[in-house]
Structure 1
Amino acid sequence: MATEVMKRLINVDEYYKMAEVGILKPGDRVELINGEIYQMSRGAASPIGSKHGSVVKSLARILNEIFKGDAVIGIQDPVRLDENNEPEPDISILKYRADDYSQAHPGSQDVLAIIEVADSSLHHDKQVKMPLYANYGIPEYWIIDIATRQITVHLDPVGNSYSSQQVYGIGDEIVLLGKTIVVSDLLKF
C-alpha cells in the first residue's frame, strides 16, 4: 500500500507563534508565501548589499516626500494577503490611513503598489512574488534590477501575471500614481 506524502503548510498565526517562542529570531529576514517560510538575504544569498540598501533608502525618502498625506509608505514591512501569505516587500505604497496601520498589517485591498529591489533575489521576485502579487490584484508591481540598473513596471494584474510591462533605465521618468519619479534619482551608484 502506497503512502501519500503531503507538504504541511503553515498559516500566519503559526508563523507568528514561531517568532513568539523563539524559533524565528528577531533578526531573521523571513516571509511567509503560500504557507512556506522563505529566508531572505541569508544562507546562500548574501546579506543586503549597500546598493540594495541605498536604493531602498532613496526610494523611501522620495516616496515619503511626494506622497506626504496621500499614501503610507511601508519599508520592508509585512503585507497580509491572506492566512498563508505575508510577504515583506522592500517598499509598499498603501492607501492613506492616519493611524499608519497600527491596528493591523495592510491587506491586498490597501496596496496601491509594491516595489522590490533585486540583486540576488531577482529570480525569486519574478518567479515567486510577481505571480503572488498579481493573483491578489496588486495593481502595480516594480522590480528594480540593480545589476542592469533598470526598473520593470508591471501593471494590470490578470490571474497570476500582469498584462502590461514597461522597462525603464537611467534617463527615464516613471509616473507612479500620478507622480513623476526620475530613475537616475534612485540608481545613483
Structure 2
Amino acid sequence: MAADPTIAPRKRFTVDEYELLGKVGILAEDERWELLDGEIVAMSPIGPTHAGVVERVTESLYRAAIGRVSIRVQNPIRLLPRSEPEPDVVVSRARRDYYASAHPTAEDVFLVIEVSDSTMALDRGVKIPIYAEQGIPEVWIVDVKAEVVHVHTEPEGRSYRTVRSLGIGDVLVPTTVEDVTIPVADLF
C-alpha cells in the first residue's frame, strides 16, 4: 500500500529529543508545550477559572497529605519513550531532592489531576490513553463546566477499567494516597 501523498509525513520525538529541543533553545522557556505520544503540542493559556480550580485542588491536597507525598503543580512527568505531559497537579512519591535531579516517572506517580475547562477532548482522547498505558494508577479529570470529577482507576492497556463521575454532593477518596478525602464541592 502506497503512502497517502496528501498527508505530510510527521516526525515523532522521544522524550530525550524533546528535552534537547528545550536545552538548545528551539522551544523557548516562556512558551507552553508538552510532548504527547511523540508530538509536540501547544498548551492552552491558563484562564482565571482554570487557575482557581487548580489552586483549590492543590490546597485541598496540601491540607490532607503534606509531608507524605510530593504535590507538583503544572510540572512535567517523564513517560518514556515519547511523552512528557504537564498535568495540572501530580501527586507522587516524596523525594529529598524534590525532583530537582529528574522529573517524576510513571513509577513515582500516585495520582494525576487534569483540570479541564476547554481541553476535555485532549484530556480524554489523548492523555488518558497515555496515562493508562504507562500504568498511572489513578487520574482525575476535573470537568469545570459540569462541576464533576471523572475518576479513572485500574489501568489496562490504553484505558481504565473503572471510571466514575462524582458531583457536588460526593467526596473524592484517592485509592493511592491514604487518609485523604476531598469534597467535590471544595473544588468549585
Q: TM-score, normalised by structure 2?
A: 0.91
1:87 corresponding residue in structure 2: 85
- Alignment gaps of 5+ in structure 2: none
With over 3 angstroms needed to count, the CA separation of the structure-2 counterparts of 1:3 and 1:165, relative to structure 1, is: closer
Distance, in Å, in 2 between the alignment partners of 1:11 and 1:112 is 23
Distance, in Å, in 2 between the alignment partners of 1:165 and 1:145 is 14
Is 1:38 paired with 2:41?
yes
Distance, in Å, in 1 between the alignment partners of 2:183 and 2:3 is 57
Distance, in Å, in 1 between the alignment partners of 2:40 and 2:170 is 36
Is 1:124 paired with 2:125?
no
1:159 corresponding residue in structure 2: 157
Q: TM-score, normalised by structure 1?
A: 0.90
Q: Any idea what SS the aligned residue of 1:74 has?
A: strand
The higher-RCO structure (CA 8 Å, 6+ apart) is 2
Distance, in Å, in 1 between the alignment partners of 2:32 and 2:54 is 16
- Name the amino acid aligned to 1:184: A
Q: CA deviation at 1:159?
A: 0.5
Q: CA deviation at 1:19?
A: 1.9
Superposition CA RMSD, Å? 1.5
Q: Any idea what SS the aligned residue of 1:25 has?
A: coil
Q: CA deviation at 1:12?
A: 2.1
- Alignment gaps of 5+ in structure 1: 42-46
Distance, in Å, in 2 between the alignment partners of 1:17 and 1:99 is 22
Q: CA deviation at 1:16?
A: 2.2
Q: Any idea what SS the aligned residue of 1:151 has?
A: strand
Distance, in Å, in 2 between the alignment partners of 1:58 and 1:105 is 24
Distance, in Å, in 2 between the alignment partners of 1:68 and 1:147 is 29
- Name the amino acid aligned to 1:32: L
Distance, in Å, in 2 between the alignment partners of 1:17 and 1:98 is 26
1:12-71 deviations in Å (ceiling 9; x for gaps): 222222223332122211101111101011xxxxx2111110011111122122111110
Distance, in Å, in 1 between the alignment partners of 2:13 and 2:161 is 31
Instruction: Tell me the number of residue pairs that the alignment of Structure 1 and Structure 2 aligns.
Output: 181
2:183 corresponding residue in structure 1: 182
Q: CA deviation at 1:113?
A: 0.6
Distance, in Å, in 2 between the alignment partners of 1:19 and 1:55 is 29
Percent same amino acid among aligned pairs? Answer: 43
